[in-house]
Amino acid sequence: MGQIKMKMYGLAFLIPLVLGGVLPKAADFYTILDDDCVRSFKREGVTVLIPRCYMNIGMTDPKCPDSLDTAAEMGMNTDVYIYPCPNCGNPAKQVQDTIRNVGGRKVGTYWIYMENFQWKDQAYNRGFLLAMTEELKKSGKQIGIFANENLWASIVGRDWNVLSVYKLWNKRMDGNAECTPYKPFGGWAAPTMKQYTTSGICNGSSLESICQLAFLTILRLFYSVSYTHLTLPTSDLVQISVVAVSLKKK
């Protein structure tokens, strides 16, 4: 293997992600979750389930609470996603309604799901998303954005980077579970998750690779972070995937 050269400044280190070249998985879905679905997801290596908790018709998803309860009973971690309704206005209320729909259940990240549906001009869209993230932040929630380069460019403008302090769930339906290649946009140097394929498990589900550790997002509050994913072969059968990180105090 050729020598890997990196510009080093501040603090630099390697974070092991996973052994055997297999990334951990998540799954998102909008149908009702039952025990059989969870067992099937587990067999696929899924560790995080992400139900839809708000619908783009301007109301909460009534299936979300039961799905969260089922996932918890089966020992699964959960995030949730909000499919917003830009035409409905009042983005803060859409967030509040979602939080009430989740109730006191323990979830990780609240993802804002961006698809090309009902969005308006970029100035409006930026304000709408900022209002949603501010409401989530006021409520003490972990925040993430679902998008890809084309969606981002169309909805808010490719280089608008205000939300890059939050996690990115990158949509790239190429059937490849690896998190690379990745072309940066919106200020994100790398995604936290990648949606890479639809799933035959529980109609309406997709599979994601979990690409990086969550605390990298926290580090970015205090440091300028440069990082990349590396795959280091140790034998013909085993690979170690790592994130190479360099930090510079802001």
Query: If 0-12 CB within 10 Å is exposed, 13-18 middle and 19+ buried, where does residue 194 land?
Result: buried
Q: How many CB atoms lie within 10 A of CB 171?
A: 22
216-225 tens-digit pLDDT? 444 545 555 4
Cα 173 to the center of its chain, rounded Å: 14
CA distances from 60 to 14, 66, 103 (A): 41, 13, 12
Distance between CA 185 and CA 32 in Å, rounded? Answer: 33
> Residue 221: helix, strand or coil by DSSP?
coil
Q: Is the pTM of this model over 0.95?
A: no
Kindly report, residue by residue over 7-55, the tens digit of the pLDDT.
Answer: 333 344 444 443 334 678 999 999 989 999 999 999 989 999 999 999 9
Please give the mean pLDDT across all residues of the chain: 82
Structure-model confidence comparison of residues 226 and 137, the more confident one: 137
CA atoms within 13 A on the CB side of 199: 29
pLDDT tens digits for 87-108? 999 999 999 999 999 999 999 9
Mean pLDDT, range 133-158, rounded to an integer = 97
